[in-house]
Amino acid sequence: MKRDPHAILPPAVRVGATVLITAFAAVPVLFLLLMSVTPDHEVAGGTLWPTRFAFENYLLMWETVELTTGLANSLVISLLAAVIATVFAVGTAYCLTRFVFVGRRAYLASLVTLQSVPHVMLLLPLFMVFASAGAYLGLSVVGTRTAMVITYLTFALPLATWVMVTYLDKIPRTLEEAGLIDGLSRFGTLVRIVLPLAWPGMVVALVFSFLSSWNDVVFASVLSRPSTRTAAVQLHVFAQSVEGGALPLYGQLMGASVVSAVPVIVLYLVFQRHLVSGLTSGGVKS
C-alpha cells in the first residue's frame, strides 16, 4: 500500500518545521528592507525599529554609488553568459544523449569533476591567459566585459550542460524518429521537436547560469575596471568606502542591495512555473 508522505510527520511537527524554515528565509530579507528605510544614525546606534522611515535613502544612493553602471554591466554580462551557455549546452547535451562515441562517458564524468573544483583556484590561470592574450596578440582583454563573459562560461557551461543532459535524456526518441520519417533532418528535429519540449529545462539552465554570473564578486573584482564593474563589485566597493566614514551610510547601502536584488526576483517571478516543471521533470526518470 502506498503511504501518504504527509503522514510521516505529525501535523504539529510539519507546521513547526514550515514556520522555522520560513523564518530563516524571511527574517534576513525583512531586516534588509527595514534597514534600507532607517536613518543612518539609527542603524549605527543599533536601533531595530526606526523612529521614521527614511525613504530618501533610495534617492540619495544613486548619487553615492555608481549603481546604474553596475546594474547595466551585470545585466549585459550575466545575460550574455547565460544565453551562450544555454545554447551550447543544448547542442552538447543533444549529442551526448542521442549519439554514442568514444569519450562520451569521460566527458560526462568531467562535467561533474569540474563542478568540484573550487572556482577561486581558476582565478590566477584565467588572469594569466587574458594577460598573455594582451601581451602576445595585442588584444585588450583584462578589464573588458568579454573577459568576464568568457570567465563565467567556464562555470556556467558544465552546469547548464548537465542540466540539459538530464532533461533531454527523458524526452522519448520515438518523437524524433517520427520526425525523421516525415522528412526532417537531425537539425530539424532538434529545432521543431526537441527544443519546444526542452523549454523548461532550458529555463533552469538559463536561470542558474545567470545567477552564477550575477552573484560573483571575486572574478569581477580582478577582471574588471571602474567602467565595467558589476553591481556586486559596486556594492562591495561602496561597503568598504562607507566603513571608514564618520557616519556609515548603512541605509543607502541596504537600499542599493535591495535594488540590486530586484532583477533576480523579477527573473524568478517570470520563469517560476517553468523553473518548477523543469527541476521536477529533469529529476524523474520515465
Q: List helix spans (H) across the chain.
A: 11-36, 40-44, 57-64, 67-98, 104-116, 123-136, 145-168, 173-181, 186-189, 195-197, 199-214, 218-223, 231-243, 250-270, 272-282
Q: How confident is the model at residue 72 (pLDDT cuts 50, 70, 90)?
A: very high
- Please, which residues have CB within 8 angstroms of residue 189's CB and are 6 or more apart in sequence? 176, 179, 180
Q: How confident is the model at residue 6 (pLDDT cuts 50, 70, 90)?
A: low
Q: Which residue has the higher pLDDT, 246 or 54?
A: 54
Q: What is the pLDDT of residues 90-109, one digit of tens each?
A: 999 998 888 888 888 888 88
Would you say the C-alpha torsion 196, 200, 202, 207 has a positive or negative sign?
positive
Is pLDDT of 240 > 50?
yes
Specify the pLDDT at position 284. Answer: 44
Looking at every residue in the chain, the average pLDDT score rounds to 83
Domains of the chain: 59-282 (1.10.3720.10)
Specify the pLDDT at position 5. Answer: 56
Q: What is the pLDDT of residues 7-16, one digit of tens each?
A: 666 778 878 8
pTM for the structure as a whole: 0.83
Is pLDDT of 21 > 80?
yes
Q: Which residue has the higher pLDDT, 185 or 241?
A: 185
